[in-house]
Amino acid sequence: MTFKLLLHRIGPAFYIPLIFIAGPIVAHAQEAVDFFRGNCTSCHTIGGGRLTGPDLKDVTQKKDRAWLVQFLQSPQAMIDKGDPYALKLKEEARDVVMPNINGMTPALAELLLTMIEAESKLPKSQFAGLQISDRPFTQHDIELGKALFMGDKRLANGGPPCVTCHTFNGAGGFGGGHLGPDLSRAYERLQGRKAMGAWLYAPATPTMSLTFSKKALKAEEILPLLALFEDTARSGAEDNRTGLAGFFAMGFLVAILLLALFAVIWKARFRAVRDPLVQMSARKVLGGRS
């Protein structure tokens, strides 16, 4: 077995420590690009407009570098300190606070800012965000989205279908997985088409990013999924409870069937001798009388 194969097998056990180890030693522009792609794109674009976080085009001109470097170290700390600009950012992001980024050092922050500055100058940055078509969703999109969610249609890059870990109202049967959150209302939570699209393109949570960093969703897959989520959210669906209820109902039914089966298989089992004798005689006597 080659080392690579081995690494692939026990991959996650390696990736996670690698993230921590790799963080501080990023020292190259290319690595700033990679870091940005891996950590920032789910909330930010450069010249692609606001997602959850603000568009970072020309951010270095809006605020001085020293402030930005400090902010990047710990956004929450700045807010706690009552920094007015930080508070304003928080308000603009509808109270979503930028998380502390693992492996963020002042040197890395500098590198990132330099990279953002350079990207801002380009007519179209590579981080302008995923360009998902703005065309209205069709019924076909919704159906395709459902097929992708449920795994009826495979994801092009080989990622696992959503239903493995998530459920949504309309997943039917026993519902989907319960490892991840219920996605019935995710469209609202993630603030609509654009932000959610960006999120799906580069998911930021550790589990999702581990799973999808190498098997990213494609734009033509994200659109139908968005269509599905939008449709579910618009129909005002609550979280999927039917799955759980169905599960218990089914379990109950199967238990009853099994008991019935046992009753048939072991019909001739020993029950009692004396009592049936007495009952039988009582019936004989009473039956004779009436």
Partner 1 sequence: MDVRAQMSMVFHLDKCIGCHTCSIACKNIWTDRKGTEYMWWNNVETKPGTGYPTAWEDQEKYHGGWVVEDGNLHLRSTSKTQTVFNIFHNPHQPSMDDYYEPWTYDYQHLFNAPEGPDQPTAVPLSMVTGDLIQIKAGPNWDDDMGGSPVYAENDPNLAKLNPEQRAQMFAVQRLMFFYLPRICNHCLNPACVASCPSGALHKRGEDGIVLVDQKRCRGWRACIAACPYKKMYYNWQTGKSEKCILCYPRLETGQAPACFHSCVGRIRYLGVVLYDAERIREVAGLPQDELIEAQRSLILDPHDPAVMAAARHNGVHDAVVESAQKSPTYRFVKDWKIALPLHAEYRTLPMLFYVPPMAPVMAQKTGSTVDNISDDLFHDIDEARAPIEYMASMFGAGNSGKVRYALRKQKAVRWYRRALTVGDVDMATAERMLREADCSPAEADAIYRLTSLCTFEDRFVIPPMHREQAVEMLEDPLAHKQGVGFGFMEGPRRGL
Interface with partner 1 by CB under 8 A: which residues?
A: 269-275, 277-278, 281, 284-285
Which CB atom, from 256 or from 278, has the smaller least distance to partner 1? 278
Long-range contacts made by residues 91-97, C-beta under 8 angstroms, separation at least 24? Answer: 92/54, 93/52, 93/53, 93/54, 94/191, 96/52, 96/53
Amino acid at 31: E
Which CB atom, from 28 or from 284, has the smaller least distance to partner 1? 284
Residue length, the chain? 290
Query: 10: burial class by Cβ within 10 Å (0-12, 13-18, 19+)?
Result: exposed
Minimum CB distance to partner 1, residue 255 (Å): 19
Minimum CB distance to partner 1, residue 252 (Å): 24
Minimum CB distance to partner 1, residue 274 (Å): 4
Instruction: Put residue 172 in one of left, alpha, beta given phi > 0 → left and psi -120 to 50 → alpha.
Output: left
Which CB atom, from 10 or from 273, has the smaller least distance to partner 1? 273
Which CB atom, from 134 or from 275, has the smaller least distance to partner 1? 275
Which CB atom, from 157 or from 281, has the smaller least distance to partner 1? 281
Which CB atom, from 6 or from 277, has the smaller least distance to partner 1? 277
Minimum CB distance to partner 1, residue 149 (Å): 45
Which CB atom, from 5 or from 272, has the smaller least distance to partner 1? 272
Which CB atom, from 123 or from 287, has the smaller least distance to partner 1? 287
Q: Are 202 and 31 in contact (CB under 8 A)?
A: no
100: Cβ contacts below 8 Å, ≥ 6 apart: 73, 74, 75, 76
Taking the C-alpha atoms of residue 168 and residue 186, their distance in angstroms, rounded to an integer, is 9
